[in-house]
Structure 1
Amino acid sequence: MKHFVVLICCILTLSSMGQDKLPYYEITENYEEYTAGTVTARMLDGLGFRFYWATEGITEKELSYKASEEGRTYLETVRHILGLSRIVVNSALKQPNDNAIQYPELSYDEMRAEILNNVKTASDILKAETDLNEFNIVFKSEKGDRVIPFWNNINGPIEDAVWHCGQLVVLRRAAGNPMLSKPSFFNGKVRN
């Protein structure tokens, strides 16, 4: 099972690297109805759009920047968001989060692509659902499985990732590379 999860992550990363365009340059049109799934999917789309633009145009200089000695670097924050995105996509795929899995070391571009694809995959799965009760977060360990209701995805990894996107924006600005002003976060579109 752990080999399957690593394989899926590698396939998603490799397939995204072959694409010219990563997801979330813009957010798609509104969904036709409000359901638990479409609202959650739109939250994920907002996260994807924010992450896309918080990480677009980053150079080596920003990757190693951190605001304080105790703080995370830009790259460490991206790595943390990667872990959060894996929790969310595993929940959508109904896969456990297995602490025994050793993920391969990824470059910044590979992490960015995997995060965007994880968020897109979770959004695509969940938007078709009306009842999210079966999409629990499952943490697998030697002590057994710990099952946590889907609700915790919202206030946990999803909102935590949004929070950290804000940190990425602040870090890049402090490092001298502010985010472009073209994206409209209200509309989910890019201004000309």
Structure 2
Amino acid sequence: MKQFVVLFFLIISATLTAQNISEERLPYYEIPEYSETFTAGTVAARMVDALGFRFYWASEGLSEKDLEFQPSEDVRTTAETIDHILELSYIIVNATLKKANGKIDNSKLSYEQKREQTLKNLKTAADILRASDDISQFKIIFGEREVPFWNQINGPIADAIWHCGQLASFRRSSGNAINPKVSHFSGTVKD
């Protein structure tokens, strides 16, 4: 019996460690170090990094109650807002990958998978932007229509930041406020 109890605790500990490692591997627990130089690419990347950080913490640790929260009937639920931010993250990353946007079915993904994909999309986009000398090449492509990078700033990036604020408000209203140790100003988490 004693061996069973020890084995049980080892399995539980390994599972919790694996979950923590998995969570730590998601981008944007903190904002990456800023670049030493100011270029269009490094500034645009920092904007996407800030979005990633805000999304990470606005969407971290949501319960089923949080995901179902809806302030009124004519407003998206928290889960629907996360879906929308995921869609925006595809527009952001597709521009940096020079890919056309199309319909992506995310309906079978769990909340955790949607969150992870959003964060990975944003990290990929930020890394490409950071290394670029000319961000004008990253157009938003809808079929045959190409839209300049300017629209990326006031469109998907700004819209996704706006919706992260909604997530923060919604989760506060459903009783699960963002970790108070998060500093949006510094992009870090206080110990």
**Structure index of larger Rg:** 2
Opposite residue 38 of structure 1, the aligned amino acid is T
Opposite residue 175 of structure 1, the aligned amino acid is S
Percent of aligned positions that are identical? 54
Whose helix fraction is larger, Structure 1's or Structure 2's? 2
Which residue of structure 1 lines up, in the alignment, with residue 140 of structure 2?
137
C-alpha deviation, 1:105, in angstroms = 2.2
| Cα distance in 2 between the residues matched to 1:65 and 1:18 | 26
Deviates more, 1:18-27 or 1:182-191: 18-27
Which residue of structure 1 lines up, in the alignment, with residue 162 of structure 2?
163
Which residue of structure 2 lines up, in the alignment, with residue 127 of structure 1?
130
Structure 1 vs Structure 2 CA RMSD? 1.5
Which residue of structure 1 lines up, in the alignment, with residue 116 of structure 2?
113
1:20-59 residue pairs with structure 2 within 5 A?
20-59=24-63
Opposite residue 65 of structure 1, the aligned amino acid is F
- CA shift in 2, pair 1:134/1:50, >3 Å: same
Unpaired stretches in structure 2, ≥5 consecutive residues: 1-20
What CA deviation, in whole Å up to 9, does each residue of 1:91-141 have, x standing for no partner?
Answer: 000100024x5456211000000000000000000101121111100012x
Which residue of structure 2 lines up, in the alignment, with residue 8 of structure 1?
none
Unpaired stretches in structure 1, ≥5 consecutive residues: 1-16
TM-score of the pair, normalised by structure 2: 0.86
TM-score of the pair, normalised by structure 1: 0.85
Query: Is the Cα contact below 8 Å between 2:58 and 2:178 reproduced in 1?
Result: yes
What CA deviation, in whole Å up to 9, does each residue of 1:26-53 have, x standing for no partner?
Answer: 0111101000000000000000000000
State the aligned residue count: 171
Which residue of structure 1 lines up, in the alignment, with residue 182 of structure 2?
183
Indicate the SS of the match to 2:145. strand
Indicate the SS of the match to 1:133. helix
What CA deviation, in whole Å up to 9, does each residue of 1:126-169 have, x standing for no partner?
Answer: 101121111100012xxxx1110011000000000000000000
